[in-house]
Structure 1
Amino acid sequence: MQEHDAEPLFPTSSPLFEVRQPRRQTEPFVFNSPHSGRVYSESFMESSRLDRDAIRRSEDLFVDELFSVAPVLGAPLLQANFPRAWLDVNREPYELDPRMFDGPLPPFANIGSLRVAGGLGTIPRLVAENMDIYRARLPVAEALSRIDTAYLPYHACLRKLLAQTHVQFGRAVLVDCHSMPASVRSSSNGPKPDFIVGDRYGSSAAHDISHAAVCILAELGYQVARNKPYAGGFITEHYGRPARGFHALQIEINRGLYIDESSLVKNSGFTALRINLAEFCDRLMAYVRDDLAGRRLAAE
């Protein structure tokens, strides 16, 4: 790991991320909440032109709480405590916008991706509604420090969880947990979905697992879309290798189901949604468990 002269932005008392482990892992699942972090340090806020309410518009608000049942059901939950506005781990490690920094970026930085062009690189330039985050350009060393100290360890942890799960069960299913604005539509004239299940158009997970996720949510009474407009980001694409037994789904939840998007506080639907997501997780785990048992019996 390289050393940089950037000031650490997080107090030592606050871990950058954490894993909520079950007492014993009994399911071939790993849950991940990369965008629900809400620890905003004073030094980060001082560098921003936004107030605390405005900068939170990029959070996947309370998604870690919505999926907190995962360890109870026997699967680990990895969650970021740092905010997405500070560092986005659902990007390549070096998707960086040269307009944001006061010096040259390293030659291996990906400065030409569509996400960088849209202001949503590894170090985001914007939060939702196209609001600029920073008052001034950042030192390049600051970007590299965030990647070294948070991004790379986060992905090392996620890889380890998936590898351990695969070794134990012969299969690992990653559920990448996100939220979306209530205004999102799956098509220009289509309904506003409650959930979008993304599997990179079938490349990141087996069809039967994706189909089961869609069906379970629909049976719970929700309007569900698949892959449109969100097919899955870097995490889903990078870790989904179904031919090798690694499956990755991205779950997007309509925020209107559980928060007031103006005040960013939970609404009366939060508890019901949390209960339904517990049933969703339990049923999806049972589907994969039964599938694994069926394959073993067939092999015998």
Structure 2
Amino acid sequence: MAPRQTTPLVFNSPHSGRIYPASFLAQSRLDARRIRKSEDFYVDELFAHAVPAGAPMLVAHFPRAYLDVNREPYELDPRMFEGALPPFANISSTRVAGGLGTIPRLVAENVEIYSHRLPVAEALERIEGIYRPYHACLRRLIARTRVTYGMAVLVDCHSMPASVRSPASPVRPDFIIGDRYGTSASQDLTRSAALILQEMGYAVTRNKPYAGGFITEHYGRPAHGLHALQIEVNRGLYFDEERLEKKPGFDRLHADLTDFIDALIALVESDMLEVPLAAE
């Protein structure tokens, strides 16, 4: 996090964690390479300029395959566990059905993670010991920003497979900006963020196929001066998904995202968006 916050933006990278507990690897049927398929590879590095630019940035060090903080706290698949889940668990969401709950059953490409069922107690330990503290920290950052600046803009940073196509366009998107179809952020902010990237020469779409997950939906309250955007970066720009290596384009993309962060901070702080972004 920034030692001194100077802007109403807060950045978050919930899926770039790459520290895999040995006990987790022992539970998995996957090798150390295949289990990484769900990572948002190096997204924390791509957006790292946020910190010297004066914006706090929360980064997960635990991997998404182990625990997904971009879900409700108890989106759990009962087929994964030995023992009864608590009655308040959401066992019927579309994300649970797709194997991508709070404790995921699958990594990307629909590959099963575990070789056997897990104790329910272990799932609850991950949620109580990691998920809840992570969100408590994120809430504090957003609340402190809202009090200090009268508003807060959360930028939730992700990556997407190079194969992703938008149903709204035949062109492969370089970026997808999600605002839950206008409900999690000012549409002026969303349009302007997209325009910054488009003027750099990138293909940008909005909300399809990624409109934003739990974090964007949960923290975005534009009527109260709380705005949340999800940004998906196409891995084909910077990462070889077969070799799991950075491509030569990484440095250029990092430089462009440095400029994007500076432009977004200037945009939010400008008079141009003062009225649309102000709390009601």
How high is the TM-score relative to the length of structure 2? 0.96
* Secondary structure, counterpart of 1:129 in structure 2: coil
1:170 to 135, 150, 154: 150
RMSD, aligned CA: 1.1
> How many residues are matched?
275
Instruction: Give the corresponding residue for 2:194.
Output: 214
1:186 to 166, 171, 174: 166
* Secondary structure, counterpart of 2:90 in structure 1: coil
Does the alignment pair 1:132 with 2:117? no
Distance 1:40 1:93 in 2: 20
Distance 1:272 1:208 in 2: 27
CA contact (8 A) 2:168 2:208 kept: no
Q: Can you list the C-alpha shifts for 1:66-110, whole angstroms capped at 9, x where unaligned?
A: 011001100001000000000000000000000000111000000
Dislocated runs of 4+, deviation >4 Å: 292-295
Q: Can you list the C-alpha shifts for 1:187-226, whole angstroms capped at 9, x where unaligned?
A: 1761110000000000000011101110000001100000
Q: Quick one: which amino acid aligns to residue 232 of structure 2?
A: E
Distance 1:291 1:183 in 2: 39
Instruction: Give the corresponding residue for 2:51.
Output: 71
Q: Quick one: which amino acid aligns to residue 114 of structure 1?
A: T
* Secondary structure, counterpart of 1:72 in structure 2: coil
* Secondary structure, counterpart of 1:248 in structure 2: strand
Q: Quick one: which amino acid aligns to residue 156 of structure 1?
A: A
Does the alignment pair 1:275 with 2:255? yes
Distance 1:33 1:102 in 2: 31
Instruction: Give the corresponding residue for 1:47.
Output: 27
TM-aligned CA distance change 1:281 to 1:130, over 3 Å: same
How high is the TM-score relative to the length of structure 1? 0.90
CA contact (8 A) 2:10 2:153 kept: yes
TM-aligned CA distance change 1:292 to 1:27, over 3 Å: farther
Does the alignment pair 1:263 with 2:263? no
The runs of 5 or more residues in structure 1 that have no matched partner are 1-19, 296-300
Deviation of residue 294 (structure 1)?
5.3
Instruction: Give the corresponding residue for 2:125.
Output: 145
Instruction: Give the corresponding residue for 2:175.
Output: 195
Distance 1:110 1:210 in 2: 30
Q: Can you list the C-alpha shifts for 1:94-138, whole angstroms capped at 9, x where unaligned?
A: 000000001110000000000000000000000000100001000
The runs of 5 or more residues in structure 2 that have no matched partner are 276-280
Distance 1:294 1:117 in 2: 41
Distance 1:294 1:125 in 2: 44
